[in-house]
Amino acid sequence: MIVSHERRFIVFADPLGAGDSVLRALSPWGDVEIVKQRDRNSANPFFYGMTPQEAEWQFDCMGLAFRSYLRVSMTEHPFSRLTRLYDRIAQTDAIWQMRQMAGIGLPNFQSWLRNTKPDGIGAGTRNSPRWRRHGAWSAKAWEAGKIGHTVRTEAIEEDLSPVLVELGIAPSFNTAHTSMSGQDAWMDRYNTGATSMMIDRYGWDMAQFGYVAPRFRHAA
């Protein structure tokens, strides 16, 4: 997250960290300290992983006009993001790791996906880390009507250019594009049932940002 009172803009990171190159490039213009949630206090109320809704509440408490700032959010293809979320849980969840050590194996991706939600507790519980809860949120739920510009991590240069023009700044940054092999890896995770479920949950995101679902060949 970046907040600049001087330039009057706010950038919200993708909950799973996609688009870090944008945050690094824009950080020199940030003039507010962002802290870990457990370290927030009256002097430093803004924290990593803060949602746009929470930020607006904080701006209201400070007597600042949230909607007078240029508000930018990062987003990623939901099919790609959910596979990354699953992999991150597999790497960090103690119970999942114990299952592997016991030879039980990880939860099936399709079954796990059915138990996630595009809002609320997302892919965790109320006590789960923010990235686990919010990583499963749809962009519609995350943005909650509070965002003026959305930057797709797959099209950073295209989406960020009008933002930079409006801000009058010219940062230097490197962008990493999803390779076809990487795309094939996440597409292979989804069967027809999982794809239909994803379209039902993230249909607004896909229509809004031009994302396409995996296609399956049907036998003649």
User: Could you tell me if 127 and 210 are in contact, meaning their C-beta atoms sit under 8 angstroms apart?
Assistant: no
Q: CA 15, CA 105: separation in Å to the nearest integer?
A: 27
Residue 116 has pLDDT above 90, yes or no: yes
**Phi, psi (rounded to 5 degrees) for 4:** -125, 110
User: Could you tell me if 56 and 73 are in contact, meaning their C-beta atoms sit under 8 angstroms apart?
Assistant: no
Instruction: Report the mean per-residue pLDDT for the chain.
Output: 91
pTM for the structure as a whole: 0.89
Q: CA 174, CA 101: separation in Å to the nearest integer?
A: 39
pLDDT digits (tens, 9 = 90+) for 15-47: 888 888 899 999 999 999 999 999 999 999 999
